[in-house]
Amino acid sequence: MADLTGKRIVVGMTGGVAAYKTAELVRRMMDEGATVDVVMTEAATKFITPVTMQALSGRPVFVDPWDPRVPNNMAHIDLSRGADAILVVPASTNFMARVAHGFADDLLATLCVARACPLLMVPAMNREMWGNPATQRNAAQLRADGIVLLGPVDGDQACGEVGSGRMMEPHDVLQELIAFFQPKPLQGVRVLITAGPTAEPIDPVRVLTNVSSGKMGYAIARAAREAGADVTLVSGPTALATPRGVLRIDAHSARDMMSAVMGETPRADVFIAVAAVADWRVAEASAQKIKKTAGEPPTLSFVQNPDILATVAALPGGPYCVGFAAETEHLDQHATEKRQRKGIPLLVGNLAQDALGADDTTLILYDDQGRHPLPRQSKLAAARELIAQVARRLPAGRVPTLAARPAPGSPSAVPSAPPSPLSLP
């Protein structure tokens, strides 16, 4: 099922050259199953036409607050009723100021004031406009009022300048919107995750590694962040993009990963060891390239790498630990033995030949009560289900932030200066 299936989103467009990105965003939202109603300001129609947005959304576009297509002439009321969210993209300096001060002088502004649903804004403006003290005061007021601001980001701007104020790219806005609607069972919890392979040097040009793509670990990092967690990802070499809002630390070898993990563990409430860490490394890696000769190939001696998961699990008062086991045979036996050997409460097992490099997977959870298979599904869907399981299993009182976590939608759930744009209004 697409991530926005059953959601009705009102997309508000204000005047700005970034309006062209909204056209792409609307199309991608529909690909994810959303129903999209577009409302434009008069200024927005100077940059892109209502005809274009109607063609992309497949629904009437609204500009006039007195639109006769609405039987009761109350578009500002009717459009927000039944909507799951209003997303203003791009949000101009002027529009942010108007909403911050409660102006209701056109259809979109009135809709925002009269809304009965969450409001998200995606700012887009010149760097000087974004940095202006008045704009920053307005942004702070919007956040204090429970309005979610997504961005802006740094980059090239239409005026030729470079700096903060650029609108987020459509795929990033879409990912943030999807994340906004995900449950937040780990709000405020600090999660440390390892992902990907490690690479153990043989000489300056050769390594011992494995075929792990990192997809599962990256999906879990995204799912944990969607669930409200503060996520740090220690990653081996991969070609994957870092999930939005996740702090990534690159590690090359098993010892690099061990060092990074141990540096982050004191701040972690949960540790999820997904990385395919090499069990061995070459005892004496050559400082120079080993040359091919006509005789016998070189003989390599190996030593065992540190066991990252077992080390973290043995820490007094350490984080709640989740391990992974990718096996090629006898999965139940090997996974059960590994969980007991590592001394961890939860281990996730799968068959390597069915999962490595693939976009979907079948996970089996092992704990003191036995085995709990999950259906075959995309790695992101499996990651979300795993994160939900971890949230339910965290011991009461082990993570202080859980007891203090405000209920979604409560005023205390909205920070005055949020570290993440995903806090529910």
User: For the chain (length 425 residues), average pLDDT per consecutive 10?
Assistant: 91 95 96 96 96 95 82 67 94 96 94 94 94 96 96 83 89 96 94 96 91 93 96 96 95 96 96 94 89 81 93 95 89 91 93 73 92 93 96 73 39 34 35
> Which pTM value belongs to this model?
0.86
β-pairing, 346-351 vs 320-327, is parallel
CA distances from 191 to 12, 136, 340 (A): 35, 31, 22
Q: Which residue has the tokens 């090359």?
A: 252
For the chain, the first-to-last Cα distance in angstroms comes to 26
- Tell me, what's the pLDDT at 411? 31
Per the annotation, binding residues for CTP are 279, 289, 306-309, 324, 338, 342
**Residue 264 token pair:** 């982050």
Q: How far apart are CA 335 and CA 254, in angstroms?
A: 21
- Tell me, what's the pLDDT at 399? 52
Q: Contact at 8 Å (CB) between 142 and 91? A: no
Domain 190-393, architecture per CATH: 3-Layer(aba) Sandwich (3.40)
Superfamily the domain 8-180 falls into: Flavin prenyltransferase-like (3.40.50.1950)
Q: Where in the chain is the domain with CATH 3.40.50.1950?
A: 8-180
Residue 304: strand pairing partners: 280
Q: Where in the chain is the domain with CATH 3.40.50.10300?
A: 190-393
Q: Which residue has the tokens 């995900």?
A: 182
The set of catalytic residues is: 159
Q: How far apart are CA 385 and CA 276, in angstroms?
A: 21
- Tell me, what's the pLDDT at 224? 97
**Residue 152 token pair:** 């802006």
